[in-house]
Structure 1
């Protein structure tokens, strides 16, 4: 893992540990027969939502990090002011997400 990637991963994990401002994503639509995508971040449910749902609804993350213990994060820049980080367990279930306001 490169030095830059380690720094980004450390910042993401620090941010998850500290908590942050919640944000709502801009609605996206996926052309699929599966359940509709959540319209707000509040509709992503810890323990139920999966990384596959997040990928399908929000697309490829801006940054992805995998930890040795199997947990992993997806980082999305939802707009010019909001970044959201999703933390998943080794079984790809959502543990939690946090939104961060950028300056």
Structure 2
């Protein structure tokens, strides 16, 4: 799967209203996307919530098995994907745990 940089052109070709994006473009802001990280859902979300790239947090797929934990993970399984083992993987702390550690509420 390759990253797409032409979604706006695709939307315009289908008659979608992209006038707000056109306004931003006219101000001089547009770039082609060059992903530097894995473009899979769970590893990308985990990178965003921990601030660590895939090579640092170690979660490289949407489905995987961890021998150390003797557990499988599937990002589409609402039971397994909410286990805290996955959210403290490789010492990476998600933003909501950091928030709670500082005495604030996370939903």
Structures share fold, TM-score greater than 0.5 = no
Higher helix share: 2
Q: Which has the higher contact order (CA 8 A, sep 6+)?
A: 1
Normalising by structure 1, report the TM-score: 0.26
The structure with the greater share of residues assigned to strand is 1
